[in-house]
């Protein structure tokens, strides 16, 4: 396995990845008050000890008033939360892995009446009403500048704390993705309408982050076609449209694209066997990261919403990953549920000991360690 594509070192900004395996961002909701504690630090350190090259944190809320809608999700602002992340990072670095925090704004998933401040509505490209109440407000240009500045403060904090880069959650129907998607973006101004205009919000966020973090500090952008409530959704119907989105973001300062799919090998467009990550690498000229059922055997789930009754998956080999990386389809491979089930997944894969890998079961979503 010494020449296995997944285990080749690679430069990442000012640091070096010991291998190409990345722990995927996975929301855990184990940070009361938004503060990651010792259990969070131990959880991430354990995956680093298991052999991953880099950890992408679970989504962390930026300091904008409308960023949050889920309980016990960590913040990436405030002295106490940032001190907690400093301890998390120390453990990951001590175990030999790199780490980037993923910055998150939920957009219209927030509604008026939600914690932590019920008086604060959701913020999104277009307004939403429930009865007589506007529960989500359409962001004006001042709101957009405010949110971009919030992301920028997060990027600056990541660099100041010693993280190896910073990531933005621009996928799965959250705020940046909502601007890209025609269903959620019904604007008629410079942030809506054609595809270039729909990219403008994300571009301005990335530019603000780049200005705050400075040159040479990697920015990772997670994007997806699918949404939480629509697995068939698409922000790009053709490779040309995807090229427009990726080109705009790369020009703004993105270094790595995290192409989130439910099956990393699935063809992205009709008429080609190439995956979304493969198209992304070719069209963007940037590093590409593949994610989706790596190391898991769950072929019957492609069109089924996951529930506690069908989320389990068996262990499979990584032949598809090896073949794709050998073709140059992508540079990094993002692993999620397989690492929840077995933190030593990278070590066991490197040893070729697939029979020793623990399969993923529903209770791995609720256990923590």
The encoded tokens of residue 246 equal: 């990726």
State phi, psi for 101 to the nearest 5 degrees. -85, 145
Bond into 302 cis (ω within 30): no
Residue burial 228-266, b: 16+ Cβ < 10 Å; e: rest: eeeeebbbbeebeebbbbbbbbbebbbbbbbbbbbbbbe
- Could you tell me which residues are beta bridge partners of residue 102? 59, 167
Q: Please name the residues in contact with 22: beta carbons below 8 A apart, sequence gap of 6 or more.
A: 52, 53, 54, 55, 56, 289, 332, 333, 334, 335
Determine the Cα angle at 122 with ends 120 and 126, to 5°.
135
Q: Is 174 a catalytic residue?
A: yes
Query: Considering 44, 109, 151, 174, which one is annotated as catalytic?
Result: 174
* DSSP assigned state of 168: E
State phi, psi for 256 to the nearest 5 degrees. -135, 130
- Report, as residue numbers or ranges, the catalytic residues: 174
């Amino acid at each position: 396995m010494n020449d296995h594509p997944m285990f080749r070192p690679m430069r990442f900004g000012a640091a070096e990845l010991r291998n190409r395996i990345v722990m995927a961002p996975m929301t855990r909701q184990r940070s009361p008050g938004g503060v990651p504690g010792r259990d969070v630090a131990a959880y991430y350190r354990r995956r680093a000890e298991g052999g991953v090259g880099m950890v992408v944190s679970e989504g962390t809320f930026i300091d904008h008033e409308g960023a949050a809608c889920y309980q016990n999700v960590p913040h990436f602002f405030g002295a106490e939360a940032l001190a907690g992340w400093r301890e998390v990072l120390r453990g990951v670095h001590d175990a030999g892995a790199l780490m980037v925090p993923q910055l998150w704004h939920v957009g219209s998933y927030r509604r008026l009446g939600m914690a932590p401040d019920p008086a604060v509505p959701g913020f999104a490209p277009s307004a939403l009403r429930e009865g007589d109440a506007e529960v989500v407000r359409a962001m004006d240009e001042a709101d957009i500048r405010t949110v971009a500045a919030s992301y920028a403060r997060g990027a600056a904090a990541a660099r100041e704390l010693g993280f190896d880069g910073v990531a933005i959650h621009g996928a799965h129907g959250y705020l940046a993705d909502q601007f890209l998607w025609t269903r959620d973006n019904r604007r008629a101004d410079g942030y809506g309408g054609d595809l270039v205009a729909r990219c403008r919000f994300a571009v301005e966020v990335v530019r603000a982050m780049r200005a705050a973090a400075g040159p040479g500090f990697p920015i990772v952008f997670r994007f997806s076609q699918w949404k939480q409530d629509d697995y068939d959704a698409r922000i790009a119907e053709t490779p040309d449209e995807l090229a427009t989105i990726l080109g705009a973001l790369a020009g703004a300062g993105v270094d790595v694209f995290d192409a989130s799919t439910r099956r990393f090998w699935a063809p992205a467009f009709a008429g080609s066997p190439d995956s979304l990550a493969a198209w992304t690498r070719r069209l963007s000229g940037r590093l590409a990261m593949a994610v989706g059922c790596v190391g898991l055997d769950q072929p019957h789930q492609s069109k089924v919403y996951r529930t506690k009754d069908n989320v389990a998956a068996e262990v499979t080999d990584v032949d598809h990953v090896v073949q794709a990386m050998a073709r140059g389809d992508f540079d990094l491979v993002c692993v999620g549920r397989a690492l929840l089930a077995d933190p030593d997944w990278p070590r066991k894969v490197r040893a070729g000991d697939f029979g020793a890998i623990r399969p993923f079961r529903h209770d791995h979503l609720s256990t923590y360690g």
